């Protein structure tokens, strides 16, 4: 994902904090941890989430609060026709985890 130039501070403001009902939806859909990082130079965002279930994670997109959130964010970041943020899948090239 990315943020339009000059909208970095607004993007951060809107996440400090996110709407309580969106937070509750994320938790109720199995989100264990969720972080978004901003590269201020390029405006690129990197999101990292640990979830209980990929199915529950995917269901978040169909919730009313998520749809409202996307609509509220479309003016400050590139969006698809359904208002979801334009995102590019990254391929994992390295991972280590202590057993």
Alpha helices in the chain (DSSP H): 8-14, 20-28, 54-59, 64-73
29 in catalytic set: no
| Annotated catalytic residue, options 4, 15, 29, 95 | 15
What is the rounded CA–CA span in Å between residue 51 and residue 38? Answer: 21
Report, as residue numbers or ranges, the catalytic residues: 15
């Amino acid at each position: 994902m990315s943020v339009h130039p000059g909208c970095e501070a607004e993007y951060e403001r809107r996440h400090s904090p996110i709407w309580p009902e969106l937070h509750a939806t994320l938790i109720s859909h199995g989100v264990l941890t969720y972080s978004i990082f901003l590269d201020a130079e390029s405006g690129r965002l990197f999101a990292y989430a640990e979830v209980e279930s990929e199915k529950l994670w995917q269901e978040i997109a169909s919730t009313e609060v998520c749809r409202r959130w996307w609509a509220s964010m479309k003016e400050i970041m590139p969006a698809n026709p359904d208002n979801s943020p334009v995102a590019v899948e990254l391929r994992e090239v390295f991972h280590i985890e202590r057993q």
